[in-house]
Amino acid sequence: MNVIWRNSVSCLRMGKVPHRYQSGYHPTAPLGSRILTDPAKVFEHNMWDHMQWSKEEEAAARKKVEENSALRVLLEEQVKYESEASKYWDMFYKIHKNKFFKDRNWLLREFPEILPFDKKTEEKVGEVSWDHVKTNAANCFSRMHSPTMPEEKNENKKNSGLSDEQSKAGSDFTNLDYEEHRKRPLKTELFPGSMATFRLLEVGCGAGNSVFPILNILRNAPESFLYCCDFASGAVALVKSHASYRAAQCSAFVHDVCDDGLPYPFPDGILDVILLVFVLSSIHPDRMQGVVNRLSKLLKPGGMLLFRDYGRYDKTQLRFKKGHCLSENFYVRGDGTRAYFFTKGEIHDMFCKAGLDEKQNLVDRRLQVNRKKQVKMHRVWVQGKFQKPLHLT
């Protein structure tokens, strides 16, 4: 453990950016870093982390996608799914209410950026922050000693886009620089959360499965304010009616992120963090870049956009039947909601085109197991952290 701790300290001290932005290492899995070393023990646990696919498994997944995307949904039906998207999600929440998704209590482990970064807050949430540092220690150690997936090596070379000098320049600022900028008085009229010094926005909040874990974390950080939006009015109503909703520290509102002309209830350039988790995949691919561009404008210099969504060949994609494919890697479910499946290269291009610097972009591969039925299922997610440059050029 002493070796792990010493390695973690060196990881946290690398560069001049705050240690919470040193995010090039693989995230700690919400269910713990459980590595399968003996295939004979595969059914001893429900989930295994950091799985490597065999060539045969990847070929089988590719073949399955080719099969289930061969027959496309008729164009007139596709138009309906796009124009009536909010209706389908409203119906989803009317049926399932807040019972469908589990609370995302793993958020802090994957995204420590949702915590205000100052000494006072660290003291107040000390136990949580300290656990995170210890977790990052083991995580940093395992990443330094784990092999890189072959496809990740190739994709990194192909999609890096920035030279070493550009990457270094984009992240060359100190903790003090960031704190001084963050606490600078905002010259604007009053709006919800205008007196806060740390502001977050969750896009696509649903029934609040991220909202309430975050509010619980920020309970002892009164200078923080959380905005959350969804374009399904039923979802926002569920959030506002929740017993833990606090209007003094949270503002939930209905918003269509695809509508570029629709104003937010706060000015551009004031957010410290934007959380975009399993939301972008539900949007038509032709509209994704516009959404990311608009969100980028909401961030203050130095602010972070935190992303997690479906990766290519996730079991969800492989389970679609023929006749549910809208376009390449884009599908419609039986309830009318939609899902796209990303590669890390697509995510890199999209967020960098929006003027954000890539701090993390990785494929998170896991093996989910049904021990009763003796069935193995591959889960694939893409996770990224993208920062708005402190000094815009």
**Chain segment 43-93, per-residue pLDDT in tens:** 666 666 777 778 898 999 999 999 999 999 999 899 988 988 888 877 877
Of 116-125, 184-193, 319-328, which range is least confident? 116-125
For residues 389 and 387, give the distance between their C-alpha atoms in angstroms, rounded to a whole number. Answer: 6
Percent of the chain with pLDDT over 70: 66
> Over 70: is that where the pLDDT of 151 sits?
no
Tokens in use for 111?
């995204």
Confidence of residue 191 (pLDDT cuts 50, 70, 90): very high
* Domain residue ranges in the chain: 2-387
The residue behind tokens 């990847």 is: 58
Third-level CATH fold of 2-387: Rossmann fold (3.40.50)
Tokens in use for 355?
């003027």
Angle (nearest 5°) at CA 173 between 168 and 174: 135
Mean pLDDT of 291-315: 96
- Residue 222: per-residue pLDDT: 87
What is the rounded radius of gyration, in angstroms, for the C-alpha atoms of the chain?
21
pLDDT mean across residues, the chain: 76
Mean pLDDT of 322-343: 95
> Over 50: is that where the pLDDT of 233 sits?
yes
> Over 70: is that where the pLDDT of 342 sits?
yes
Dihedrals phi, psi of 330, to nearest 5 degrees: -125, 125
CA 201 and chain centroid, separation: 12
Dihedrals phi, psi of 312, to nearest 5 degrees: -60, 130
The answer for residues whose C-beta is within 8 angstroms of residue 160's C-beta and 6 or more apart is none
For residues 205 and 352, give the distance between their C-alpha atoms in angstroms, rounded to a whole number. Answer: 24
Confidence of residue 271 (pLDDT cuts 50, 70, 90): very high
For residues 137 and 112, give the distance between their C-alpha atoms in angstroms, rounded to a whole number. Answer: 14
- Residue 44: per-residue pLDDT: 60
> Over 90: is that where the pLDDT of 372 sits?
no
> Over 80: is that where the pLDDT of 207 sits?
yes
pTM score: 0.73
Give the strand pairing for 330-332 and 299-310. unpaired
- Residue 167: per-residue pLDDT: 39
Give the strand pairing for 299-310 and 375-387. antiparallel
> Over 60: is that where the pLDDT of 193 sits?
yes
> Over 80: is that where the pLDDT of 178 sits?
no
